Structure 1
Amino acid sequence: MTFRTLDDAGSLAGKTALVRVDFNVPMEGGKVTDDTRLRVALPTIEKLRQAGAKVALLAHFDRPKGQVVPSMSLKPLVQPLSELLGAPVRFAEDCVGGPAHAAIADLDAGGVVLLENVRFHAAEEANDAEFATSLAELADLYVNDAFSAAHRAHASTEGVAHHLPAYAGESMRRELEALDAALGNPKTPVIGIVGGAKVSTKLDLLKNLVGKLDRLAIGGGMANTFLFAQGVDIGGSLAERDMADTAREIMNEAKVKGCELLLPVDFVVATEVKPGAQSRPVTAGDSLSADDKILDAGPATVARLVEAITASKTLIWNGPLGVFEVQPFDAATVAVAQHAAALAKAGTLIAVGGGGDTVSALNHAGVVDDMTFVSTAGGAFLEWMEGKALPGVEALRA
């Protein structure tokens, strides 16, 4: 996998870098409540500053739908970003035209300016060629450091890359390298864990993975659909019973492609989903009442999954194994996550997770820092796992 990084950019002294970042941070009362996405951008900003470049940051916030919405301005991010950088950050009242050009012209080498919300322009999401040209006129090079927006063919993620030398930022580089190690050119054998509620939302993902993995473990509500398709009694559990034929097709495809599907062999059931609810372990094939709900994988399933992960060199994880938000139905997710993280920390497993509730689940298990890589990109991570080309990444290929 080859894409251009800042190491390929040559001398940056005196140049202006237009950097697409993901600053779509949680806000409350005009204050940033979680600065993770600001901190993720720091290595790229610092690398450019130390190289003597001016840095113009381009980002979106929320969904203004092409209108100027004052409550969606990026201006409240200036102070927290300045504090994280330990350097002043200017603000431009627009991301193109006079205000942007003037703010950039006023910067010294190594200076930073945050441009106003790019989605205040309808031309952004339309990937309008003229708007992309206007963005390109601000700088000498373009840097995409927002993998989370790379699945969108917008002016700031794809269009502008056709007008300037384009490079992956440090966060983007790390994400692409991790995903390539997990799915592009992984160390084998490779095991995947896919959980979550619905098969219907992950059809493309499952179909792509059975052709690439040695083993695929299915958990959460979607496992119930597969069990139902096999004639297993699932009681009153969440399942897409109308997807049974599709589940059987995926099972057949896995068999043809040599991917071993690991479905739960036992599970934890309860009649209600609430903390401390009375629950019991049940073996797959036992009869359940109409009130019984499968809410987590059972201990035998966990033991089998732990053994399978230990025998693997690479793990890619998307989605929890049970209703992890409610104890005691977090047990399987926590146990498997902690085992995978321990192997990753010991250097015997490449463990990459991301998408949907995965970050929350791995945070809940306390293992995010010990995994090889955890992507916060959501939709872009899922589309990558589905085997789809991401416009923002394709524009950076060498």
Structure 2
Amino acid sequence: MSKPFRTLDDADLSGNRVLLRVDLNVPTENGRVTDATRIERVASTIEEIANKGGKVILLAHFGRPKGGPDEANSLRPVAAAVADIVKRPVAFASDCIGQVAVDAIARMKNGDILLLENTRFHKGEEKNDPALVAELAKLADVYVNDAFSAAHRAHASTEGVAHKLPAYCGRAMQAELEALTIALGTPQRPVAAIVGGAKVSTKLELLGNLIKKVDILIIGGGMANTFLFAQGKAVGKSLCERDMADKAREILAEAKTAKCRIVLPVDAMVAKELKPHVHARVVDVDHVADDEMILDIGPKSVVAIEEVLGQIKTLVWNGPFGAFETPPFEAATFAIAKTAGFLTRDGKLKAIAGGGDTVAALNEAGVAGQFTYVSAAGGAFLEWMEGKALPGVEALRAK
């Protein structure tokens, strides 16, 4: 069986200049990196290329500079953080193209690592300008993309260069693509998706795509309130997009046609205001008072969802069930996350999760490590779940 993507196993690295696109858009404070998770994710790719005798030329964007170089958005401080994690020296070049970059690369020996300055200091990056693409391609013999989180953007460094040089997936990109294939590409059935979060309007395409792909769709978060409202239930002061009621009914009808079962909350945790440790009560979804808001799903709903988890083989999760940052409204999300974690650990379930809030909730529940895969790529993960082709990924397909 041929592989859909070329990986480092297929690449000739020794003695070659390897342009490695990574995501180093990390949070910093006073010139120090405060969360190195993204660097840790690409460390194994950096080390592997260096160990195989490639010259590792790191390419990344940082922040949103306005049309030119500015000190606040320089990648210089990040070089030290990368060196710290890969336990090797990392040189820095103050531009990503031109003589500065050419000279810095000329000084490299096999196995050396060099970080080039922020690609977004050039306007051509986000425009995927052929002139910038050509300048970048001149710098290397091989292109490796290990930045799945930037793969939904057709930029010069994420997509353009991949067409000019022999192009491969890095190990983090490879792991992400393999996990996504398990999740929705060729999943073991039955497969269920959990979609939470605040608004139906931002996840319409997602719901539309999932109905066709999954056997069971579990809807939570503020989105569920819109569906309950569409079914004629009173939702009080809850977050609810009343103008999306027709759309919600349409989605329910489409799901029926596609033989996709939709699971909505049957009970809820409600309170008169959203603040920590506020007085809250559990009610059936038919009994939400006018001055109350739904802030989490209730225990009967949790049991129903845990039963579903016991019957399926694959789970894709995007979005929490309640206002999990504010206790006691984390209860349902954490309980369901723990059940999914146990089932995955015991080999009964493949669970793939992604999106900022979801990752935060799983980390807080202490179960992220038990999931088959947790994607840190917000926008790219969501677009992939919506069934969209990601330019940075498409460019790496085996021709």
TM range (shorter): over 0.9
Tell me, in whole angstroms, the C-alpha distance in 2 between the residues paired with 1:311 and 1:17. 46
Distance across 2 between alignment mates of 1:275 and 1:16: 54
Return 5+ residue gaps in structure 1 as ranges. Answer: none
Aligned to 2:389: 389
Q: C-alpha offsets along residues 200-226 of structure 1, whole Å, 9 cap, x if unaligned?
A: 000000000011000000000000000
Q: Aligned residue pairs: how many? A: 396
**Distance of 2:224 and 2:356 partners within structure 1:** 17
CA distance in 2, matches of 1:352, 1:222: 21
Partner of 1:61: 62
Q: What TM-score do you get using the length of structure 1 for normalisation?
A: 0.98
Identity of paired residues, percent? Answer: 59
- Say which SS state the counterpart of residue 64 (structure 1) adopts: coil
Alignment correspondent of 1:327: 327
AA in 2 matched with 1:355: G
Q: Give how far 1:188 is off.
A: 0.4
Deviation at 1:70, TM superposition (A): 0.9
Conservation of the 8 A alpha-carbon contact between 1:66 and 1:123: no
Q: Is the Cα contact below 8 Å between 1:210 and 1:259 reproduced in 2?
A: yes
Give the superposition deviation at 1:79. 1.3
Report deviation, 1:339.
Answer: 0.4
Quote how far apart the aligned CAs of 1:289 are. Answer: 2.4
Q: Which moved more, 1:100-109 or 1:207-216?
A: 100-109
Correspondence 1:296 to 2:299: no
* Range with bigger deviation, 78-87 or 211-220: 78-87
Structure 2 distance, partners of 1:264, 1:56, is: 50
User: Counterpart of 1:127 in structure 2: which amino acid?
Assistant: N
Q: What amino acid is the match of 2:359?
A: V
Query: Over aligned residues, Cα RMSD in angstroms?
Result: 0.8
Q: How does 1:180-259 map to 2 (within 5 A)?
A: 180-259=181-260
- Name the CA distance, whole Å, in 1 between partners of 2:368 and 2:235: 32
Aligned residue number for residue 129 of structure 1: 130
The answer to whether structure 1 residue 143 and structure 2 residue 144 are counterparts is yes
Deviation at 1:128, TM superposition (A): 0.4
- Counterpart of 2:7 (choices 2, 5, 8) is 5
Residue-by-residue CA offset, 1:106-126 (whole Å, 9 max, x unaligned): 111000000000000000000
Q: CA deviation at 1:291?
A: 1.3
Match in the other structure for 1:376: 376
Q: For residues 83 and 361 of structure 2, what CA distance do their matches in structure 1 show?
A: 31
3-state SS of 2:222 partner: helix
Measure, in 2, the Cα distance between the counterparts of 1:396 and 1:320.
32
Secondary structure class of the residue paired with 1:82: helix
Runs of 4+ in 1 over 2 A off after TM superposition: none
Q: Is the 8 A contact 1:222 1:239 kept in 2?
A: yes
Range with greater deviation from structure 2 (120-129 or 98-107): 98-107
Aligned to 2:100: 99
Letter in 2 for 1:231: G
Other structure's SS at 1:143 match? strand
Shift of residue 65, structure 1, vs aligned partner: 3.4
For 1:374 and 1:101, how far apart are their aligned partners in 2? Answer: 37
Q: CA deviation at 1:356?
A: 3.5
* Counterpart-to-counterpart distance in 1, 2:84 and 2:381: 30
Cα offset, 1:12, TM superposition:
1.6
Q: Name the aligned partner's letter for residue 176 of structure 2.
A: E
Structure 2: gaps spanning 5 or more residues: none
Specify the alignment match of 2:313 in structure 1.
313
TM-score (norm 2): 0.98
d(CA) in 2 for partners of 1:67 and 1:270?
49
